[in-house]
Amino acid sequence: MEKKKIIRKICLLGDGGVGKTSLISRYVLNSYSDEYIRSIGTRVSKKVIEYDDCELTLMIWDVLGQKSQKTLHAAYYRGANGVLLVCDNAREETLLHLPMWKQDLMEVTGSIPLIAIINKADLGSALSKDALAQVCSALGKSPMYTSAKSGEGVQEAFETLGSEIIEVSK
Ligand code: G3D
Ligand code: MG
């Protein structure tokens, strides 16, 4: 039997510099570059995930030239079917901002599958237990750890989000 084909849009949200562009590059191209991309606009990358019973094409939206934690244009969020909320293991304020990013998005999209990511797992953690507990309870789930630099956890994070998207598509 022909596999069911599904195409979905996902966004990566979080403060500037947490590693969103690097995570996409690691997942889609399996590469990592220290060169910072400063152009303005949006880039969409495509990645196909094969599951037993379906084929999921992720259209992965990245905002380029993001300045710090300024909220993004609603057009970036519109039509998103899933989100990776990303923070930086070495900067606690980026973790504390995740609930704000979630709310900003869900005002546009309603409730959609969400995975929280603590990126830069290769660096020492600057996250207090209190901050982690506060954010886990605000998001209703625990974060996954990734390193775009080493590749650790990156595929798992995207594929876990993909599975949740398939679940709600059924
Ligand atoms: P953004 O898209 O969220 O703004 P970027 O973030 O992907 O542009 O990454 C911002 C900086 O963090 C970059 O360094 C990048 O190399 C670094 N970075 C991204 N992911 C990781 C990681 O997993 N580990 C480590 N150690 N660094 C990471 P520069 O120096 O160019 O600012
Ligand atoms: Mg970026």
pTM of the model: 0.93
Residue having the nearest C-alpha atom to atom 4 of ligand 1: 17
Map tokens 């909220």 to a residue: 71
Whether 164 is in the pocket of ligand 1, judged by its Cβ within 6 Å, is: no
Q: Given this model, what pLDDT does residue 38 score?
A: 47
Element (H, E) at 46: strand 41-50
Closest ligand to residue 18's CA: 1
- For residues 35 and 139, what is the distance between their CA atoms, to the nearest angstrom? 32
Asked which of 28-42, 46-60, 84-98 is least confident by mean pLDDT, the reply is: 28-42
Asked which of 26-30, 114-118, 131-135, 161-165 is least confident by mean pLDDT, the reply is: 26-30
- For residues 82 and 9, what is the distance between their CA atoms, to the nearest angstrom? 7
Residue having the nearest C-alpha atom to atom 20 of ligand 1: 19
Q: Given this model, what pLDDT does residue 92 score?
A: 98
Q: Are the beta carbons of 119 and 89 closer than 8 angstroms?
A: yes
According to DSSP, the residues that pair with 8 across neighbouring strands are 58
Average of per-residue pLDDT across 101-110? 94
CA of 65 to the centre of ligand 2 (A): 6
Q: What is the pLDDT of the chain when averaged over all its residues?
A: 91
Whether 18 is in the pocket of ligand 1, judged by its Cβ within 6 Å, is: yes
Q: Given this model, what pLDDT does residue 66 score?
A: 72
Whether 89 is in the pocket of ligand 1, judged by its Cβ within 6 Å, is: no
CA of 52 to the centre of ligand 1 (A): 34
CA of 98 to the centre of ligand 2 (A): 16
CA of 21 to the centre of ligand 2 (A): 4
pLDDT-derived band at 34, boundaries 50, 70, 90? low
